[in-house]
């Protein structure tokens, strides 16, 4: 009969901390890249542009567009994930109206508030599909 006893001293906390740093770095890179792809989808509106449902929204001045500048990402430590998408601004969740369509309250030029039906102009759904090829290469760099 052979008895083998191996004892080792292993502290998991430094290993876990190193993994969390790598994971957070990966999430920051993935979130920033996906946000960049989404921001680039919002193009300048041309004079004769006719909006088509299912195409990304356009803006007369994309660099100052509230919707374009309102795209953010955040790392959720509790669920170990990154959340990327538009923020709520001006008290309305118009960001979800862009993505899913629906009825929104808008302010007219005369200052009156009216309810209007909005067609779908998704940004984050198509962005997720465009960003998937990038994630494969990003996962390969996790050991660096």
The pLDDT profile of the chain, 144 residues, written as one tens digit per residue, is 555 555 666 677 887 888 888 888 888 888 888 888 888 887 777 777 777 777 777 777 766 677 777 788 888 888 888 888 777 655 556 667 777 777 777 777 788 888 877 777 777 777 877 887 877 777 666 555
* Cβ-based burial of 143 (10 A; exposed 0-12, middle 13-18, buried ≥19): exposed
Tracing tokens 């005369």 back to the chain, one arrives at 110
Residue partners of 30: CB distance under 8 A and separation at least 6: 82, 131, 134, 135, 138
Q: What are phi and psi of 43, to 5 degrees?
A: -95, 175
Distance CA 68, CA 41 (A): 9
């Amino acid at each position: 009969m052979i008895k083998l006893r191996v004892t080792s001293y292993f502290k998991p906390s430094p290993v876990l901390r190193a993994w969390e740093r790598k994971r957070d770095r990966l999430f920051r890179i993935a979130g920033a890249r996906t946000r960049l792809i989404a921001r680039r989808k919002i193009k300048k509106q041309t004079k004769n542009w006719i909006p088509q449902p299912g195409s990304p929204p356009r803006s007369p001045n994309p660099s100052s567009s509230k919707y374009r500048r309102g795209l953010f990402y955040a790392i959720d430590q509790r669920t170990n994930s990154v959340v990327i998408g538009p923020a709520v601004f001006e008290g309305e969740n118009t960001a979800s109206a862009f993505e899913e369509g629906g009825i929104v309250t808008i302010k007219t030029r005369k200052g009156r508030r009216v309810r209007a039906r909005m067609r779908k102009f998704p940004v984050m759904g198509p962005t997720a599909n465009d960003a998937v090829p990038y994630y494969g290469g990003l996962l390969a760099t996790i050991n660096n």
